[in-house]
């Protein structure tokens, strides 16, 4: 174990001298805080196909079998929201009180987000304090996190995009989430200042939020989750060099060794890993919008993409006005129901959307034909009510989605910078804006990511149009 650890540290420092301070700090008392069971190596990872620089990554330097432990990092060298390192009781009380107040202000009714935000803010406070001088216990790790962020040639978080990328956004959803996130961070920073929490200025606070949101591990043992109440929110050196995949070959767990009274973050092989293969974990089953806002990248293929859509029923009042009180009663049987806002999934149909539309378009005749409907609850509308009901649903959704698609196509004409979109291999032609494939020709990665999100949303709409058109053909 010690030999493997020494090899990893020596090779990493030789190839990447900027890692020296961090790795020497991690192993200053021997190889007990960083325990290497399998040979791995630090490497710069570049995706040749999509022309994306992923930064540091870890590769297997030997074949590794499924379920074998690869390496462990002591939580004593990690930063979490569970404890405040080297903090006196009075200051700890002030920090806990303040972050709880701020998190409750925004997420009082969303417990997973509330706990996540509390942990993130406590981690930020610690990084801010421990990066202030080398006398601080966690200085090598805290300072490395900030140095890495500041040394980036291009900041990939949309909050720091240049005007050219911002002006090109033709997705109202992306524009809205950037604006709302910015506003929320401004408000949180003001709350911290009012409660005398360190000397955060706005740019520093947003920078540190970006660092912590993009580098923290948020997992439940054996299963990656996002915003789970029971998940561990932790910043861990070395582990945070592992990149993301929806088909990961590694998993993160926690271990506590009672005889040592020490806890560890454990990286295990989720399946057989070949020598030279990059180690990956699943950061969470999120859509690309969330990945972009949190990590600054998008997945080329993401089965979890979704789109929020507002539905307008003004042209269908002849149907929606019938049985109005009865419909309202049914909707009340469903928790967290929204009357006009729904989610479109890219790779499956939202069953709650279909249930809601079947209820919206119920007619008096439907109750006369099928009296059982009178006793239905919301969940019972997962099956067809009548052919006419389904026809109305299909026509309504096709009309709605085509109008939405038209908005995207008009918006992109008015907002995009054609100088960014010229095809390098086709003279006087721009790249294909209806496909992800041509995005590799966009040189500016932030502009490319912006386009990727917009195309994701268009693709989502187009797939849902095809579904309802096929349904309509089957009904006619």
Each as own residue / partner, the long-range contacts of residues 82-89 (CB below 8 Å, 24 or more positions apart, any chain) are: 82/119, 84/122, 84/125, 84/126, 85/126, 85/130, 85/137, 85/138, 86/130, 86/136, 86/137, 86/138, 87/126, 87/129
| pLDDT tens-digit readout, 436-456 | 999 999 988 899 999 999 999
| pLDDT tens-digit readout, 373-391 | 999 999 899 999 999 999 9
Residues 6 or more apart in contact with residue 116 via CB below 8 angstroms: 218, 227, 231, 233
Q: Does pLDDT of 95 surpass 70?
A: yes
pLDDT of residue 223: 43
pLDDT of residue 224: 41
Q: Does pLDDT of 458 surpass 70?
A: yes
Q: Does pLDDT of 337 surpass 80?
A: no
Provide the whole-model pTM: 0.92
pLDDT of residue 222: 40
CATH number for position 347 = 3.90.1420.10
Could you give the CA distance from residue 230 to residue 220 in angstroms, rounded to a whole number? 7
Residue 323 resides in a domain: yes
| pLDDT tens-digit readout, 223-272 | 443 444 556 789 999 999 999 999 999 999 888 888 888 889 999 999 99
pLDDT of residue 231: 66
* Domain count along the chain: 3
**Same-domain check for residues 227 and 124:** yes
Share of the chain above pLDDT 70, in %: 95
Residue 221 resides in a domain: yes
**Same-domain check for residues 74 and 85:** no
Residue 274 resides in a domain: yes
**Same-domain check for residues 89 and 218:** yes
**Same-domain check for residues 183 and 257:** no
Give me the half-sphere count of Cα atoms (radius 13 Å) on the Cβ side of residue 254: 17
Q: Does pLDDT of 341 surpass 60?
A: yes
Q: Does pLDDT of 290 surpass 90?
A: yes
Residue 298 resides in a domain: no
Among 210, 231, 252, identify where a domain stops: 231
Residue 296 resides in a domain: no
Residue 295 resides in a domain: no
| pLDDT tens-digit readout, 28-59 | 988 889 999 999 999 999 988 788 888 999 99
Report DSSP letters for 238-284, one per residue.
TGGGPEE-SS-SEEEEEEEETTTTEEEEEEEESS-B-TTPBPEE---
**Same-domain check for residues 283 and 319:** no
Q: Does pLDDT of 192 surpass 50?
A: yes
**Same-domain check for residues 114 and 216:** yes
Residue 150 resides in a domain: yes
**Same-domain check for residues 221 and 353:** no
pLDDT of residue 226: 44
CATH number for position 55 = 2.170.270.10
**Same-domain check for residues 54 and 107:** no
Write down the mean pLDDT value for the chain.
90
**Same-domain check for residues 63 and 136:** no
Residue 24: which pLDDT band, with cuts at 50, 70 and 90?
very high
Q: Does pLDDT of 68 surpass 90?
A: yes
Please state the rounded mean pLDDT for residues 458-472: 96
Q: Does pLDDT of 174 surpass 80?
A: yes
Among 200, 231, 262, identify where a domain stops: 231
Bridging pattern class, strands 280-281 and 243-244: parallel
**Same-domain check for residues 188 and 69:** no
**Same-domain check for residues 394 and 442:** yes
Q: Does pLDDT of 92 surpass 50?
A: yes
Please state the rounded mean pLDDT for residues 191-199: 80
Residue 68 resides in a domain: yes
**Same-domain check for residues 209 and 85:** yes
Q: Which domain holds residue 54?
A: 1-78+236-287
Please give the distance of CA 368 from its chain centroid, rounded to a whole number: 47
């Amino acid at each position: 174990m010690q030999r493997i650890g020494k090899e990893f540290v020596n090779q990493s420092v030789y190839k990447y001298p900027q890692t020296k301070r961090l790795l020497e700090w991690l192993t200053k008392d021997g190889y007990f805080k960083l325990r290497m069971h399998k040979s791995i190596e630090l490497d710069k990872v570049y995706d040749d196909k999509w022309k994306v620089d992923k930064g540091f990554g870890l590769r297997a330097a030997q074949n590794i079998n499924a379920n074998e432990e690869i390496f462990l990092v002591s939580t004593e060298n990690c930063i979490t929201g569970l404890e405040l390192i080297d903090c006196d009781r009075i200051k700890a009380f002030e920090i806990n009180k303040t972050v709880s107040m701020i998190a409750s202000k925004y997420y009082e009714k969303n417990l997973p987000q509330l706990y996540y935000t509390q942990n993130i803010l406590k981690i930020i406070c610690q990084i801010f304090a421990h990066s202030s001088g080398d006398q601080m216990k966690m200085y090598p790790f805290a300072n490395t996190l900030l140095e890495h962020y500041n040394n980036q040639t291009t900041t990939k978080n949309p909050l720091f995009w240049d005007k050219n990328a911002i002006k090109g956004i033709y997705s109202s959803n992306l524009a809205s989430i950037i604006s709302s996130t910015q506003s929320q961070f401004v408000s949180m920073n003001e709350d911290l200042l009012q409660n005398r929490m360190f000397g955060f200025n706005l740019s520093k606070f947003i920078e540190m939020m970006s660092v912590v949101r993009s580098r923290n591990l948020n997992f439940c043992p054996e299963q990656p989750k996002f915003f789970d109440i029971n998940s561990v929110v932790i910043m861990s050196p070395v582990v945070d060099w592992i990149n993301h995949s929806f088909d990961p070959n590694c998993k993160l767990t926690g271990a506590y060794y009672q005889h040592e009274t020490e806890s560890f973050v454990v990286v295990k092989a989720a399946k057989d890993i070949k020598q030279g293969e990059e180690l990956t974990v699943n950061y969470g089953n999120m859509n690309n919008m969330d990945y972009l806002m949190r990590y600054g990248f998008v997945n080329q293929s993401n089965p979890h993409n979704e789109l929020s859509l507002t539905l307008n029923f003004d042209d269908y009042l002849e149907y929606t006005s019938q049985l109005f009180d009865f419909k309202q009663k049914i909707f009340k049987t469903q928790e967290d129901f929204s009357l006009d806002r729904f989610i479109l999934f890219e790779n499956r149909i939202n069953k709650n959307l279909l249930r809601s539309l079947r209820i919206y378009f119920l007619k008096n005749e439907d109750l006369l034909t099928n009296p059982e409907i009178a006793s239905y609850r919301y969940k019972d509308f997962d099956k067809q009510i009548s052919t006419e009901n389904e026809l109305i649903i299909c026509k309504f959704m096709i009309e709605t989605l085509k109008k939405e698609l038209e908005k995207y196509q008009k918006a992109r004409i008015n907002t995009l910078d054609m100088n960014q979109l010229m095809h390098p291999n086709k003279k006087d032609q721009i790249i294909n804006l209806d496909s992800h494939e041509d995005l590799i020709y966009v040189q500016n990665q932030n502009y490319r990511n912006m386009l990727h999100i917009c195309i994701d949303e268009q693709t989502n709409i187009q797939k849902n149009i095809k579904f309802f058109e096929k349904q309509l053909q089957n009904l006619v």
